[in-house]
Amino acid sequence: MTHTRGRFRGSLGGRGSRGTGFAALLAAALLVALAGCSGGGAGTPKAAASSPAPDGPGARGAPGAPGSAPASGSPVPVVPAGAGGIPGAKTLPLGPDGLPAVFDNGPRAKPRVALTFDSDMTAGMQERLRTGKTASYDNTALLADLRRLKVPATFFMTGLWIDTYPQEAKGIATDPLFEVASHSLTHRGFAGQCYGLGHVPENEMAAEVRAPFERLKAVPGARTVPYFRFPGGCYDKAALRAIASTGVMPVQWDVVSGDADGATGDKIAATVLAKVKNGSVVVMHNSLGPAAHTADALPKIVAGLRAKGFEIVLVSDLVGAAAGQTAAG
């Protein structure tokens, strides 16, 4: 599963990213539950040692189309090579250092929130399915609730999840409620010791990012967007440089739901509702395993957000609003 207890920020103007100490305390215990899901030893994600970047999209840039470098301040609609995509889905301009930005929340002016779900799958998880140690990682109850409650959602899919559940992936990708972005091919880490997820060599990082888009390019009407979420939330400047050619914008979060820590539905809902702010991006999972209670939490989260006056939107909606602010500024 994606280990989302740590928070990692964008790296612009020489700044890197780092996680929270709480993440390190939980990592070793959670790795027991994730036996077979990780490809390396336990540890805290390591990135460039420096202060995190400030909140807000105004402090970040983003990539343009693959193989191009748009002028700073010019929002560019990007569709990854080989993907059909949602017309008009935007990113923000590249930063002054030429690196992709890392978007973790939208503008704070309006009560809008994006719910995101990571479709994790590793080689170890596939082995557990093959040997019958795990029955399924496909959270059908969660999908049913999203559709029943008419909740827009952004899914970050791994290529291995698409390979394992091709019909389910197709259904999500073509549902007008949803949009789909990349969560890598194999869910290995892109920097440091990322919760024991293993490590993607730099020369393979761009291919890892492209893999989910390539798997969906033959699906008519696939609603892909040019975004990517780092497995485990782990990245550094080298990783940002390595994926720049793909034309995607990394999207992280500012609210960690805690569903991947095995929390109950009530605890997940309480955590989200306590932390959410205008423009928030909430990270959850639709892969069963430690995140077994996300479906239990969803109706409570949706009811609570709507009662507080929040509009639930797609990540592309928040990015589009941020792009408009950047253009106006």
> pLDDT tens digit string along 58-78?
222 222 222 223 333 333 334
pLDDT of residue 94: 84
What rounded mean pLDDT belongs to the chain? 79
Min mean pLDDT across 25-29, 88-92, 190-194 is at 25-29
More confident residue, 165 or 19: 165
In this structure, is the dihedral angle defined by the CA atoms of residues 162, 166, 168 and 174, taken in order, positive or negative?
A: positive
- Using a pLDDT cut of 70, give the percent of the chain over it: 73
Looking at per-residue pLDDT, the higher value among 55 and 204 belongs to 204
Query: What is the per-residue pLDDT for 37?
Result: 38
Q: What is the bridge-based pairing of β-strands 224-228 and 112-119? A: unpaired
pLDDT at 131: 97
- pLDDT band at residue 35 under the 50/70/90 scheme: very low
Treating both helix axes as pointing N-terminal to C-terminal, what angle do 166-174 and 140-148 enclose, rounded to 10 degrees?
20
288, exposed or middle or buried, with CB in 10 Å at 0-12, 13-18, 19+?
Answer: buried
Question: What topology does CATH give the domain 79-328?
Answer: TIM Barrel (3.20.20)
DSSP string, 177-188: TEEEEE--SS--
- Is the pLDDT at 167 greater than 90, yes or no? yes
Task: Please say if the pLDDT value at position 281 is more than 90.
Answer: yes
Question: What b/e string do you get for 294-310 counting C-beta neighbours within 10 Å, with b at 16 or more?
Answer: bbbbbebbbebbeeeeb
In this structure, the strands spanning 281-285 and 112-119 are: parallel
Alpha carbon of residue 70 to chain centroid? 24
CB 2 within 8 A of CB 118: yes
Q: Which residue has the higher pLDDT, 304 or 48?
A: 304
Tens-place pLDDT, residues 103-151: 999 999 999 999 999 999 999 999 999 999 999 999 999 999 999 999 9
pLDDT over 50 at 3, yes or no: no
Instruction: Check if the beta carbon of residue 233 is closer than 8 Å to that of residue 256.
Output: no
Q: Mean pLDDT lowest for which of 45-49, 52-56, 227-231?
A: 52-56
What is the H or E stretch that residue 68 is in? none
Query: What does the domain layout of the chain look like in residue ranges?
Result: 79-328
Cα distance between residue 134 and residue 127, in whole Å: 9
Percent of the chain with pLDDT over 90: 67
Provide the total of helices (H) and of strands (E) in the chain, helices listed first. 10, 8
At 107 the pLDDT is: 96
- The pair of structure tokens assigned to 54 is 């400030």
- Rounded CA gap, 173 and 212, in Å? 11
| pTM of the predicted model as reported, rounded to 2 decimal places | 0.78
pLDDT at 28: 35
What is residue 323's predicted lDDT score, i.e. its pLDDT? 85
* Contact assessment for residue 80 and residue 223, using Cβ atoms and an 8 Å cutoff: no
CB atoms closer than 10 angstroms to residue 128? 18
Kind plus residue range of the DSSP H or E element containing 212: helix 202-216
Distance separating alpha carbons of residues 277 and 289, to the nearest angstrom? 28
Say whether 314 sits in a helix, a strand or coil: coil
Tens digit of each residue's pLDDT (9 = 90 or more) over 231-279: 999 999 999 999 999 999 999 999 999 999 999 999 999 999 999 999 9
CA–CA separation, 42 and 22 (whole Å): 14
**Does 9 or 288 have the greater pLDDT score?**
288
